Amino acid sequence: METPSFKEDHISQIPALQMLVNLGYTYLSPAEADRQRGGKTTNVLLEDVLRKQLKEINSIRVSATKTSIFTDENIERGILALKNLPMNEGYIAASEKAYNLLTLGQALEQSVDGDKKSFTLQYIDWKNINNNVFHVSEEFSVMRSTSKEHYRPDLVLFVNGIPLCIIELTT
């Protein structure tokens, strides 16, 4: 595990990072978080983490005794649904869509044993919290959608590679 930055101007982050790591969050350095999102500050998802978790926490119940898995194509469709939030319709509409995806999941069609049906892909395992992974990163730079400026919150908390909480600290 990498260790957090101990730069003087980041000193207020240390107690918060220590507490979050003690609570079970895995620390990601800014460089690792950047690598996880393909080096693109327009991308806020840790896609490798998300892809792995979507495969791990989801299965399709075919019958009382048989389950199947989502295809790689449907996993990618699920990721795309999170990436393509309707920002052009405003933040309220985009937030509502994100909330619905995270709480209700994404319905996806898939053929199982020659029978095409709709199945729900969940982004977070709400029934067994221990099936999810939690990360924290500092100085997570994100390009604003309305300009070429960057926003750099002190800490960002992720669940299954999805940023769910931004923390700004004061000294």
For residue range 43-84, list pLDDT tens digits in order: 889 999 999 999 999 988 777 777 788 999 999 999 999 998
> Which range is least confidently modeled, 34-38, 78-82, 113-117?
113-117
- At residue 160, the pLDDT reads 98
Give this prediction's pTM.
Answer: 0.85
Q: What is the mean pLDDT of the chain?
A: 86
Residue 7 — pLDDT band, cuts 50, 70, 90?
low
The residue with tokens 């991308």 is 43
Classify each residue of 57-82 as buried b or exposed e, where b means 16 or more C-beta atoms within 10 Å of its C-beta. bbebeeeeeeeeebeeebbebbbebb
Residue 89 DSSP one-character state: G
At residue 59, the 3 state secondary structure works out as coil
- At residue 22, the pLDDT reads 93
- At residue 38, the pLDDT reads 84
- At residue 8, the pLDDT reads 46
CB 75 within 8 A of CB 105: no
CB 154 within 8 A of CB 30: no
Mean pLDDT throughout 150-167?
A: 88
Query: Helices marked H in 58-158 — which ranges?
Result: 72-83, 91-104
Give Cβ neighbours of residue 9 (< 8 Å, ≥ 6 apart): none
Q: Which residue type is seen at 22?
A: N
- At residue 152, the pLDDT reads 74
CB count in 10 Å sphere of residue 36: 20
Mean pLDDT throughout 16-26?
A: 91
